[in-house]
Amino acid sequence: MEKAYKLLALQEGISNKKAKELIDRGLVYVLDRKVKIARAEMPEDTRFRVEKIDSVDIIYQDENIVAINKPALMDSYDIVDAIDEDIELIHRLDRDTSGVLLLARDREFLKDAIEAFKAREVKKRYTAWVEGVFFEEITIDTPIATHKRGGKAFSIIDKKKGKPAVTVVKPIEIQGKKSKVEIEIKTGRTHQIRVHLADIGHPIVGDERYGSVTRSKRILLHAKAISLLGYAFEAKEPKDIVKYK
């Protein structure tokens, strides 16, 4: 028996540090099971599969802004390093979430963009695959409270202490016992879409933290479109969002 990250390092011919990073980023599998603990003891003949991350595509850029179609399984902060220039994130997407990510080149524009987010003057539209059959539009307005557990954020519905949150969900397609939906959020609470969909019994496919019972390479959520300060961008859906399985 040996630690997973050490076995992976030997298999891939990489450093222990790089192997641990790949596991921590959720990119390493044994058959169809994600390796979640880098220091887990595993048989020495274990064969790993490392998921490849899609390329970073630039949707649009000018002197103020860079709009990226962020691939899933990549941290928002890694986008800055990938572009390799003096830019700053205007907002963030979760590691599992693909789609439109905005960065600023100009400091004044960054300030204005942050103010637009605070004033709820930014429109954001998402698509996702959810558990169950979803067949009619619904507006979810239950308050959300966010807590920290082990350095990670976790949100819950809390009608007494939660902050206002509004999510509009529309059905797009039904495939078996899974549904594709379009989502518009009127507020920007941590994990808002994930916790709201879970609360109505339709967690996002692959979102084990909030109740999905389906294994997936990632949480099937895509930030499809965003508009602010006169700009409007849309990101092409990746294959796992275009069609489920």
Which of the following is catalytic: 24, 94, 96, 199? 94
DSSP-assigned states of every residue in the chain: -EEHHHHHHHHHT--HHHHHHHHHTT-EEETTEE---TT-EE-TT---EEPPPPP-EEEEE-SSEEEEEEPTT--HHHHHHHHTSS-EESS---TT-EEEEEEESSHHHHHHHHHHHHTT--EEEEEEEEES---S-EEE---EEEEEETTEEEEEE-TTTPBP--EEEEEEEEETTEEEEEEEESS--TTHHHHHHHHTT-PBTT-GGGT--S--SS--EEEEEEEETTEEEE-PPPHHHHS--
Q: Identify whether 106 is a catalytic site residue.
A: no
List, by residue number, the catalytic residues. 94
